[in-house]
Amino acid sequence: MKFRTGYTKARWVALAAATLLVASACGDAGSDDSETGEYEVAESPEFEEGSRMAELADQGSIKIGVKYDQPGIGFRGAGQDAPTGIDPELGKIIAGQLGIGPDDIEWVETISDNREPFLENGTVDLVIASYSITDERLEIVGQAGPYYVTGQSLMVAADDDSINGPDDLEGKTVCSVRGSTSIDTVEQEYGAEPAGFDTYSECNDQLINGSVDAVTTDGAILLGYAAENPDELKVVGEPFSEERYGVGYSPDAPEMCEFLNETIQSSFDDGDFETAFDLTLGKSGNEMPEEPALDPCAA
């Protein structure tokens, strides 16, 4: 694969626009700023002819699926021009290596349940949406990475002392999202009564209004919600699964894997990933983790 890294550099500076967010009526307000990092946009990157990377670079635009309701990870509030969070930041890093600047990224909201279909039917070119790499998903789509590792956790009302870990969930109503790894684990392994919704912000609202006893998903997601409602919500217990976030790509473009892995690895090495992390997840109490070793691409 020809992946030229020695190109002339064009740097863009995205304005750290302090966007006044209008909190949504249902209480799932996002982070209160829309700061973004400064990443390289390759001037004339070269890719093997016919590859998906070459197509995207020629086209000069890319469609990226991210979450819109997960503060710190992928969030787009009323009045925000573009989503914020570690996932959109990584999207900008990747697009930059294709020669595509942030204004030419078309952001598409994905929820957990439509990530595979969106990649299969071309609604998006990439999914970067708290998307754990799993064997089941790899049967359907490509996933490069991981770029971040978190673990499933629990969030309860701040004044609830009855749930301190997954072993306390037997018979409790636990909200999670259809099409996620989280809902399967809690139902199959811990005997909880699952309440399945489309988005975690709906679960967040259910917990705040007392309709469910707990919300479960990745700690990184829950910390974002708890940070926004510290008087009402808290994250409890130790993580009880390993969620390795990958970048999803079309099953028809296996050549994307090496490119994505190289781009993720260079963002670790040149500090771009850390910049992205500090501006996003780092603000809701998450520690910058040790950068994970990337899975090799299938031969």
With the CA atoms of 186, 188, 191 and 197 taken in that order, what torsion angle do they form, in degrees rounded to the nearest 10? 50
- Shortest reach from residue 135's CB to ligand GLU, in Å: 13
Question: Is residue 204 within the footprint of ligand GLU (CB under 6 A)?
Answer: no
**One of 125, 243, 255, 272 touching ligand GLU (CB under 6 A):** 243
Q: Which residues contact 241 (CB under 8 A, 6 or more apart)?
A: 151, 152, 181, 182, 185
**One of 153, 182, 204, 275 touching ligand GLU (CB under 6 A):** 182
State the binding string over 128-167 for ligand GLU (x if CB under 6 A, else -).
--xxx-----------------------------------
Q: How many CB atoms lie within 10 A of CB 238?
A: 11
Binding segment toward ligand GLU, per CB under 6 A, in 10-18, 174-182, 263-271, 276-284 = 174-182
Q: Which residues contact 80 (CB under 8 A, 6 or more apart)?
A: 19, 21, 30, 34
Tokens for 245?
Answer: 């976030």
**One of 98, 108, 175, 177 touching ligand GLU (CB under 6 A):** 177
* Residue 298: exposure state from Cβ atoms within 10 A (0-12, 13-18, ≥19): exposed
Sign of CA dihedral 42, 34, 108, 132: positive
Question: Is residue 218 within the footprint of ligand GLU (CB under 6 A)?
Answer: yes
Q: How many CB atoms lie within 10 A of CB 193?
A: 15
Residue ranges in 74-113 that form contacts with ligand GLU under rule CB under 6 A: 112
Binding segment toward ligand GLU, per CB under 6 A, in 95-103, 124-132, 140-148, 279-287 = 124-132
- Binding positions for ligand GLU, rule: CB under 6 A: 112, 130-132, 177, 180-182, 217-218, 243
